[in-house]
């Protein structure tokens, strides 16, 4: 890698972290993609990142076809587009070589929700933890994720003051730092109150709502680890992530004939088309139930 390329990548890292305020994980991923391009033959033949032509960039991306999923290739292209747009914006390049490059068609993967019974089991089964505070936190956490459909990042970003006991609602900051108010069902409210009673102390309103074992803010990674522990405790063997609970929440609301627009608002989706995918999930579940239950369906 040339000194000019290292300098360009350093500027890009600062741009992502400071001007775009991307998360450290996203910054690492985007910078890593640019470093991979800088180390490739196409870039070396061109004489550096600022001299890469559209044909060379297309050739570079083509080598990943068939080796990676479309979603992975789309993320790679997004990172390179962000880099070259940054270079054009600062005047380092006159033309963006990624402009007009089509990305692969994304896979259409339907979410696979848990059944209502499995969600109930995950939340209600007695905890095997010796620490009552952690046991109460786990129940409150999963009751809240399934009862409100929050993204895991939204849940761990909550502070105690974001929870209104009187109005039974949460003030949540979602994608793009947009704020929305989410109602809390009665059982999730009760779980939260029981957990907070174990934590009563001065200044609690300014503290994170969910704490880890060191009494610091629980991370997204921490939630995933806690969930895997809980799944083992209750004997659920299928693959489940925190986002599965969000999918389950939306699908079960739709099964209960809740208006799609209301579900959109509750989930914090900007576009209704994002929420509409759950209609396909429900249709698929109905078809599966029909095939399993109806005697005339077995010959199809």
Q: Compute how many other C-beta atoms are within 10 angstroms of the C-beta atom of residue 145.
A: 27
Beta-strand (E) ranges in 63-214? 163-164, 169-173, 179-183
Q: Compute how many other C-beta atoms are within 10 angstroms of the C-beta atom of residue 47.
A: 12
Distance CA(80)–CA(103), nearest Å, equals 12
Q: Is residue 101 part of a domain?
A: no
Taking alpha carbons only, the member of 5, 29, 1 closest to residue 16 is 29
Whether 287 and 174 map to the same domain: the answer is yes
Active site residue 151: yes
SS3 62: helix
Whether 138 and 24 map to the same domain: the answer is no
Active site residue 271: no
Active site residue 195: no
Whether 150 and 289 map to the same domain: the answer is yes
Total domain count, the chain:
2
Whether 29 and 64 map to the same domain: the answer is yes
Which residue, of 89, 106, 128, is where some domain finishes? 89
Active site residue 214: no
Catalytic residue, chosen from 60, 195, 249, 278, is 278
Whether 162 and 35 map to the same domain: the answer is no
Predicted local distance difference test score (pLDDT) of residue 175: 76
Predicted local distance difference test score (pLDDT) of residue 297: 52
Active site residue 246: yes
Residue 82 lies in domain: 3-89
Whether 252 and 153 map to the same domain: the answer is yes
Taking alpha carbons only, the member of 105, 103, 122 closest to residue 113 is 122
Active site residue 65: no
Whether 140 and 207 map to the same domain: the answer is yes
Distance CA(204)–CA(208), nearest Å, equals 8
Q: Is residue 286 part of a domain?
A: yes
Whether 258 and 218 map to the same domain: the answer is yes
Catalytic residue, chosen from 246, 247, 249, 252, is 246
Whether 60 and 128 map to the same domain: the answer is no
Q: Is residue 202 part of a domain?
A: yes
Catalytic residue, chosen from 224, 269, 277, 285, is 269
Structure tokens at 136: 């109460």
Catalytic residue, chosen from 76, 87, 151, 247, is 151
Predicted local distance difference test score (pLDDT) of residue 294: 53
Q: Phi, psi at residue 270, to the nearest 5°? A: -75, -35
Q: What is the CATH number of the domain that holds 177?
A: 1.10.443.10
- pLDDT (tens digit, 0 to 9) for every residue of the chain, 300 residues total? 788 889 989 999 999 888 888 888 888 999 998 998 888 888 888 888 888 888 888 888 888 776 767 777 788 888 888 999 999 988 888 888 888 777 656 556 666 889 999 999 999 999 889 899 999 999 999 999 999 999 999 999 999 999 998 999 999 987 777 888 888 988 999 999 999 999 877 678 889 999 999 989 999 999 999 999 999 999 999 999 999 999 898 888 888 888 888 888 888 887 777 777 777 766 666 666 656 655 555 554
Whether 181 and 258 map to the same domain: the answer is yes
């Amino acid at each position: 890698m040339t000194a000019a390329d290292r300098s360009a990548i350093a500027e890009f890292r600062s741009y992502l972290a400071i001007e775009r305020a991307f998360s450290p994980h996203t910054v690492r991923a985007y910078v890593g993609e640019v470093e991979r391009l800088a180390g490739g033959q196409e870039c070396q033949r061109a004489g550096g990142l600022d001299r890469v032509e559209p044909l060379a960039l297309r050739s570079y991306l083509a080598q990943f076809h068939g080796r990676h999923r479309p979603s992975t290739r789309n993320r790679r292209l997004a990172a390179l587009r962000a880099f070259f747009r940054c270079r054009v914006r600062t005047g380092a390049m006159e033309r963006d070589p990624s402009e007009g490059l089509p990305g692969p068609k994304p896979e259409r993967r339907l979410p696979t929700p848990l059944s209502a019974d499995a969600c109930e089991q995950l939340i209600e089964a007695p905890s095997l933890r010796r620490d009552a505070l952690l046991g109460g936190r786990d129940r409150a956490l999963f009751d809240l994720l399934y009862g409100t459909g929050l993204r895991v990042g939204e849940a761990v970003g909550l502070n105690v003051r974001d929870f209104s006991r009187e109005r039974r609602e949460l003030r949540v900051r979602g994608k793009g730092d947009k704020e929305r108010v989410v109602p809390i069902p009665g059982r999730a409210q009760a779980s939260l109150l029981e957990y907070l009673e174990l934590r009563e102390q001065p200044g609690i309103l300014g503290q994170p709502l969910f704490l880890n074992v060191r009494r610091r803010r629980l991370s997204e990674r921490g939630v995933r680890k806690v969930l895997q522990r809980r799944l083992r405790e209750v004997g659920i063997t299928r693959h489940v992530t925190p986002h599965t609970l969000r999918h389950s929440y939306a699908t079960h609301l739709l099964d209960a004939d809740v208006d799609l627009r209301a579900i959109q608002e509750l989930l914090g989706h900007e576009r209704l088309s994002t929420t509409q995918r759950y209609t396909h999930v429900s249709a698929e579940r109905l078809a599966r139930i029909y095939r399993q239950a109806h005697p005339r369906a077995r010959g199809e």
